[in-house]
Chains A and B, each alone.
Chain A
């Protein structure tokens, strides 16, 4: 090769080296010399998102009837930033707006105050959203009002009326189901904080409305869908510098529930009837709950809680007055899954199962005296009286407390009496725990209560918690009370002295009380329904569920929920068989007999147990009626209770009967399955059809009570 080629190759090499050198020099200038400058530019670099929420999915009953749907509403919003620039912080504008909307001006100003600032009302009245986001102050305004505002832009700066998709409740057959469905509210700071700095486009944003209770909350991520998001890059001056991303919306999925609207409607009406029955007897009858569960799947077919509220008041935000009423009436929480009540005699199925497991003879006779004396205390037969010596099945029928006292007393002595240790057996409490008491059932609804099981361990734990307080009180001697009532102070002091020293001890009396569902034991009506479902199906404790499936807005099934077994109770088959034989006797010739007089028990035997639980501080007992049917081939468990409602038989029993009549198509003494509230006399085995356009289809031959509401708002 010639010299010219060599030289030119050398020149190329030098050229390449100088190109690399140029890059390095420039890099040094950019990163090392002016790095800080660019770093601050990067910090000022922000994105702005234009978000259009997706249409929220519907909630359907088991036959495809919409329980929650969407409609459009004219909403008036106020832009606080614009309002703040008006003279007097926009007070005149607010006054004018209040006049047009015909509400007090304070209603509007309360809504505009950000939560947590001075003078702000508690949520949901105060504003929980972003500073830059317009605040909705009125929904469902008339077209005339909206036009009146929009035509006078100068009088209403920063105020806009626009159409928004909001929730609507078709109420098929007049169902309420507020505690199952839940409601929507603005996303909370906690929810936003919990996401960390997630950047995925379907994350929660300040402007979002999310489920705040019930199914709306539990399945929020499915129902919400994915919003349409356009991401813009914005510089410090707020100038849009580019479009980073565009994502199309995806409509929210539908939730198909196992609730049957027609049955739910019957259960809700019957719960109110039971409450009215209690009140007619002169009792307060202040609250109650009812649950219908399919025993072989754990699916909830109906669940009602009293008092309840109208879920539509949340649409567009509640007013101050409405919120005050809600709080006063205690109607926001569900008594069926959150309320805790002493189970009373309905707990005796658990004591019986424990007795069977411990080897007590199920077919021997047990003494049923009027009362039992333990030391200075007398334990009575509350619901019952003296029956002499009776078989265990009869003890269940007539709900004889003293028989169970006897059994519990023997168990207590076998465990070591007062000398028992932490590890000594406590068969009734152990069985109760196996049946799911004292822990959450795991239903797909938020904020469920766990309840408590009265036991030796519970008492010990309780003592460890309260001991310091008790001991301190015993020393102090209640000086405040002593000033006015020295006798009462003495009594309290003596009590605390005893508790301080000895409060951990599981006494004979504690054991006796526990056996009949009194003492510290507290359960939710749903837990009790699952106990009776487990007795009915032969010992399987299911995880109760409401959602059967999640179906896309296009009708494609996203996810199906199969029944889930939570536990198998370790109770001998013979004991469960015994209960199957004994419990129908309660309905035919025991404490549950009266409400079922005239019911075709020959065709549909009903297994039941009444309960009239004593509550400290109240003279009126909690009325329980727990049951399952048909007893020979169990399908459904039905539990109803009313607080301060009197006996189970008188108050709850007749309503439970009506529910069975609706379930099985009972008319007088006739049984016609075709008149059952359930289409085809059974829960649907298939999921309801949803047309590709999002319209759910209700099976033919039945009217759904309302016309179907379309999926798109």
Chain B
């Protein structure tokens, strides 16, 4: 066992220290924040439009929207907290965060607590109709844990030792395996991308990167060949290749999603007016398939705007990662970038028919409280790294 956590525990920094520096608000990356706020409002409109048809009589037509707005507000508070946490504190408590994340990941398997949604045993049912998806927080835990290990105790110019790479991989594989057991294929793919990106940017030897990419590709191929993936998982993954094969399930979703987006054309049918969206042809279009709503109702122009805004966040995140004043900060940013980028590519790609259908939400847009909170915490962490760098620069 490495001694990577010992020095930090001994120095015992106290509690989260909120910096009362008057430069906090000035030093935030406002370009990223404005893009994030715009996308969140964008998301509220789309969730409203998507849930309108489902929420028709007899329930409150705004009930879904209200829930979404509450989630957004909670998420922003969490993001604010994440942006102000002290690095030292964060690193010291990383083992605790990691342990807690693994513990919560097991809870959906506990009878009476867990809920199955769309084939994945990935949710904890809370009172009041709210559900919690612990795998969203597990992504953050994996990022923090890997960043801490790979940036630990070494010369800034030297590469991580193989020992550290192995340790970080060994610790990352635990939550990934649990998520795989939950049948949450999409999150497994996102976590894989996060792990590979962090190891690559940590400066680890090239053979690690090559091995990992090769291993991931082989793993996906083998699991299909050996039947390790369940039938419906294969169906989800392959239905984008041959949509006509299975008319009842996955490819129905894929076909309807593409009809919705394609039908939107250049300018779309207008908000609340998409026939596919309002006719409830596209399933779960307030969460996983929400991109079909923007595609159909706001057309190419609206869709491009949405992707560009997401691009702005990623661009700013890369700038922050590049200017980070230590490897820890850079690796945290890298993890968040890989997470956001791969998740949005997978989510939008599946509605466009270029990626397999998996059940993961579109960051900042989809309904789903846990995802919204995790994403805002991610944004908070990016801001935190920026503030740290600004403060330590001459």
Contact = CB atoms under 8 A, between A and B. Distances in A.
B261 A241 contact: no
Interface in B246-281: 247-249, 252, 255-256, 258-266, 275-276, 278-281
Given A28-B300, A38-B263, A16 B341 contact: yes
B56 A199 contact: yes
A245 B352 CA distance: 24
A22 B353 CA distance: 12
Contacts of B300: 27-28, 31-32, 35
A39 B265 contact: yes
A13 B315 CA distance: 8
Contacts of A233: 252, 256, 281
Given A5-B203, A26-B352, A41 B327 contact: no
B31 interface: no
Contact of B259 (A13, A32, A42): A42
Interface in B197-214: 197, 200-203, 209
Contacts of A13: 318
A143 interface: no
Interface string B33-49: 00000000000000000
Interface in A212-232: 231
A23 B278 CA distance: 25
A47 B264 contact: no
Interface in A193-239: 199-200, 202, 231, 233, 239
B159 interface: yes
Given A22-B354, A38-B258, A199-B53, A12 B264 contact: no
B264 A35 contact: yes
Contacts of B148: none
Contacts of A8: 200-201, 203, 209
A237 B166 CA distance: 56
A245 B280 contact: yes
A679 B326 CA distance: 91
B19 interface: no
Nearest to A9: B201
Given A4-B159, A35-B264, A242-B247, A9 B295 contact: no
Contacts of B281: 45, 47, 233, 244
A19 interface: yes
A81 interface: no
A466 interface: no
A2 interface: yes
Interface centre among A5, A199, A244, by most chain B C-beta atoms within 10 angstroms, is A5
Contacts of B218: none
A231 B157 CA distance: 63
Interface centre among A17, A23, A37, A231, by most chain B C-beta atoms within 10 angstroms, is A23
Contact of B345 (A1, A9, A23, A202): A23
A41 B203 contact: no
A242 B252 contact: yes
A72 B78 CA distance: 62
Q: Chain B interface secondary structure, helix, strand, loop or mixed?
A: helix
A244 B278 CA distance: 12
Interface in B317-355: 318, 321-322, 324, 326-327, 330, 334, 337-338, 341-342, 345, 348-349, 352-354
Interface residue range, chain A: 35 or more
B265 A35 contact: yes
B263 A12 contact: no
Interface centre among A11, A31, A43, A202, by most chain B C-beta atoms within 10 angstroms, is A31
Contacts of A88: none
B144 to A, nearest CB: 18
B314 interface: yes
B307 interface: yes
B250 to A, nearest CB: 10
Interface string B156-181: 11110000000000000000000000
A20 B203 contact: no
B310 interface: yes
Contacts of A242: 247-249, 252, 256
Contacts of A35: 262-266, 300
B57 interface: yes
A67 B369 CA distance: 53
Given A31-B303, A233-B281, A41 B354 contact: no
Contact of A12 (B53, B261, B311, B338): B338
Contact of A30 (B247, B258, B311): B258
A8 B295 CA distance: 34
Contacts of B256: 45, 233, 241-242
Contacts of A231: 280
A24 interface: yes
B266 A32 contact: yes
Interface in A104-145: none
A217 B22 CA distance: 71
B96 interface: no
A39 B201 CA distance: 44
Nearest to A23: B348
Contact of B341 (A2, A19, A200, A243): A19
B276 A42 contact: yes
A198 to B, nearest CB: 9
Interface centre among B201, B209, B248, by most chain A C-beta atoms within 10 angstroms, is B201
A1 B330 contact: yes
A72 B236 CA distance: 47
Contacts of B220: none
B265 A12 contact: no
Contacts of A243: 248
Given A12-B197, A39-B263, A45-B276, 9 more contacts: A1-B330, A8-B201, A12-B338, A23-B348, A31-B300, A32-B265, A36-B265, A41-B262, A199-B278
Interface of B: 53, 56-57, 156-159, 197, 200-203, 209, 247-249, 252, 255-256, 258-266, 275-276, 278-281, 283, 295, 299-300, 303-304, 307, 310-311, 314, 318, 321-322, 324, 326-327, 330, 334, 337-338, 341-342, 345, 348-349, 352-354
16 contacts: A1-B330, A5-B202, A8-B201, A24-B304, A24-B307, A30-B258, A31-B262, A32-B300, A35-B264, A39-B262, A45-B276, A47-B279, A231-B280, A241-B247, A241-B252, A242-B247
Cβ-closest 6 pairs across A and B: A38-B262, A35-B265, A42-B263, A31-B300, A242-B252, A5-B203
Interface of A: 1-2, 4-6, 8-9, 11-13, 15-17, 19-20, 22-24, 26-28, 30-32, 34-39, 41-43, 45, 47, 199-200, 202, 231, 233, 239-245
